[in-house]
Amino acid sequence: MERGQENTAPAQASSRDQREIDAFSAIAQSWWDPTGPFAPLHHLNPSRVRILANCAADHFHLDLKATRPFNGLSLLDIGCGGGLIAEPFSKLGFDVTGVDASPQNIETARAHAADGNLSITYLEAAPEDSFLSSRTFDVVLALEVIEHVADLDLFLSSVCSRVKPGGVLFLSTLNRTLRSLVLGKAVAEYVLGWVPPGTHTWSKFVKPSEIAKRIRTAGFAVTSLQGLEYELATGEWRISEDVSVNYILAATRQ
């Protein structure tokens, strides 16, 4: 390189959105507070774990009544936050790796797992990072994270490449509909106060068809699409055929 000439090599592409990372890092110590800013996830978690565990058990022909039914299988939790999903799946027998772009989230997750004597590998990373490129997993989760990334195509292609052939991918997010704008954004943030105002950007919500189109090109077949619906009367989440707000998509790698 000649004197005075700058290195103009392009920066590596990244799915990280620093504004989103900073927002979650600022409240990272609250992940395990059931009455704090992550209270909605604490309410959702039992239903979410049950749904995902049932689907995974069906996929691998396992008996959920067994002790640690997923022994011998690996799971990657992308956007793991403080470990709300990683920990119950570790207890079910999975060899769990959790990755998150926020170092504060990872610090919280590691500390909580240590307190519970759980062996979970936590890494500050995004799915496209090179040191993950040689690793694949039986199950990959990307739950409530897609709507927070900077590059959807890069994120999904990287997530897909982390799944073993014959493995299963679970994605959950908010649909981009008028109903989700009202319920998932306005009501959740400004009326019910479930999450801090500004947590979500409606234009970053993703339609199931958009995800399905992208992952099919990576060799995946969508096997399940289910809505998640909150019942005010019972205070519980349940499976629904209505995917207009929250949904979980499952796909297998051919």
The CATH number assigned to the domain holding 173 equals: 3.40.50.150
pTM value is 0.91
What three-state secondary structure class fits 240?
A: strand
Helices (H), the chain: 18-25, 39-60, 86-91, 103-115, 152-161, 178-180, 208-216
The verdict on residue 215 lying in a domain is yes
The verdict on residue 8 lying in a domain is no
The verdict on residue 3 lying in a domain is no
The verdict on residue 77 lying in a domain is yes
- Please answer whether residues 198 and 189 qualify as being in contact, where contact means their C-beta atoms are separated by less than 8 angstroms: yes
The verdict on residue 1 lying in a domain is no
Task: Provide the residue-wise pLDDT of the chain in tens; the chain has 254 residues.
Answer: 444 445 544 457 899 999 999 999 999 999 999 999 898 889 889 999 999 999 999 999 999 999 999 999 999 999 999 999 999 999 999 999 999 999 999 999 999 999 999 999 999 999 999 988 889 999 999 999 999 999 999 999 999 999 999 999 999 999 999 988 887 777 666 566 667 777 788 889 999 999 999 999 999 999 999 998 887 777 778 889 999 999 999 999 99
The verdict on residue 66 lying in a domain is yes
Structural domain count of the chain: 1
Q: Which domain holds residue 94?
A: 18-253
- Please answer whether residues 93 and 68 qualify as being in contact, where contact means their C-beta atoms are separated by less than 8 angstroms: yes
The verdict on residue 125 lying in a domain is yes
